[in-house]
A and B are shown apart, each in its own frame.
Chain A
Amino acid sequence: MLNKIRKYKFLFEELVKRDFKKKYKRTVLGILWSLLSPLLTLLVMRIVFTEFFGRTTNHYTTYLFAGTLVFSYFSDATNQGMSSLVDNAGIFTKVNVPKYLFLLSKNVSSLINFGLTFLVFLGFCLLDGIAFHWKFLLLVYPIVCLVFFNIGVGSILSALYVFFKDIQYLYSIFTLMIMYLSAIFYNINAYEPTVQKLFLLNPIYVYISYFRTIVINNAIPDLVTHLLSFGYAFAVLLIGARMYKKHNQKFLYYL
């Protein structure tokens, strides 16, 4: 494994550079825009939903931002990841390179984007009157889980996308559903306790609630949240890795 990393390091770096440049079209405005788009979403939600949900939820701006931060990273990374095999078919049908490099490279671009948005998020926390405390360091845990979760979902999608091109339309509907089911702008306290439990079936909700518990409640999430965060990431990663392994040769027939 270590040998492989060394062998493909140069290629990986060049792929990351390429994906990053293509994503931002080499403009400062490109990077700015990718920061601006979650902020605009945030602004709209803040204006529209404060009337309905803002009064019953503490630090509503931060509450919203935690939601959009996690969701937009998930949505960006998996949508970019989906096309990673199809877009790079010209490369891996001509040279013998591991196919997961392309997915990882796209994920690096999305992660950089997430990192920048995260810094803005921290700034907003201060503006919202939230003091930083040591528990913020625990955010590393859901972030790492989320990175692997996104890679896992991306690998499943990229494999499916090779076989079925309409996956992208189905997936955009799916992401929209996830968005509404992740309690980004509303509070699940309005539901009965049993219904509230159902939200834990949604991985994105679990990651968002981890963020909120740390940042807004100044508390450490319970064991279940920790286990679920890890479990979801591990499960999708396992499925994705299996699909790549199983279809490694089959991809070539389709491209």
Chain B
Amino acid sequence: MDNTKPTVVLKNVSVRYIIGDFKNIGLKEYVVRKLSHNYHVKEFWAVDGVSFSLEKGDLLGIIGSNGAGKSTLLKVIAGIMNPTKGKVEINGNVAALLELASGFDGDLTVKENTYLRGAMLGYTRRFMDEMYDSIIEFAELQEFQDRPFKQLSSGMKSRLAFSIASLVNPDILILDEVLSVGDGAFRKKSEEKMMEIIGRGVTTILVSHSLEQVRQLCNKVLWMEKGKQMGLGAPSDICKKYEEFIKSGR
């Protein structure tokens, strides 16, 4: 990895999204609706012209109301989606921790799910063999290793998800509200763990609804509203504008 180059550069990135009647309809209904001109698909820009550049060690917070396009933007940076317009340049390997609790298989055991998730995150088998015990210990699930995953409580599930994900060692870390999970004691533990990873000097991009957290952690803030970039800059400045925007009733 080249240290002098910016790690993440977005140039005028836009993503077109479609919503409408197309989801969960069958071929039959599709044909009927097409014939009766009752088939409506709307296109809109989920992300509309976002540009920023991050250096190594930067911590960018993304704020904005629901449906502002934050998660879509993260998917673009993670490489899951391609931008419709614009350019994304990534210099380094990316780990995206999005909606951690999904993607597990209820019928597999906790142990099998742990390995599957590790594989999804790009770990090697040897690494998983080495780390498995400490993952289970961190998640406090020692007694549940051979139980089917569906028997776990949702708190336990997110604890496991976090424990596996927290082993990532990327150049660029993408977090979607996963700074902390679980209850009291675990929340503290997970927060510390995340701080430790961020503290290693990786480039971090973080979506958060807690302005307090953003002020505390981030050195840059991107504010999005309906896909548009409303502001980019220092946390104190942007967060203040955002608060005023909310108070003024949009």
Contact = CB atoms under 8 A, between A and B. Distances in A.
A90 interface: yes
B4 interface: no
B124 interface: yes
A10 B26 CA distance: 36
Nearest to A95: B120
B114 to A, nearest CB: 10
B35 interface: no
The secondary structure that dominates the A interface is helix
A5 interface: no
Interface stretch (A58-66, A163-171, A186-194): A163-171
Interface residues of B, number: 38
Nearest to B120: A95
Contacts, number: 82
Contacts of A241: none
Interface string A42-81: 0000000000000000000000000000000000000000
A22 B119 contact: no
Contacts of A254: 22-23
B125 A10 contact: yes
Interface in B79-113: 79-82, 94, 96, 98-99, 102-105, 107-108, 112
B54 interface: no
Contacts of B186: none
A252 B96 contact: no
Interface of B: 17-18, 22-28, 30, 75, 78-82, 94, 96, 98-99, 102-105, 107-108, 112, 115-116, 118-125, 128
Given A95-B121, A166-B28, 17 more contacts: A10-B128, A13-B125, A14-B112, A14-B115, A21-B108, A90-B102, A90-B103, A90-B104, A92-B80, A94-B96, A94-B103, A94-B120, A95-B80, A167-B26, A252-B75, A253-B17, A254-B22
Interface of A: 7, 10-11, 13-15, 17-18, 21-22, 90-97, 163-167, 170, 249, 252-254
5 contacts: A13-B119, A18-B112, A91-B103, A94-B120, A167-B27
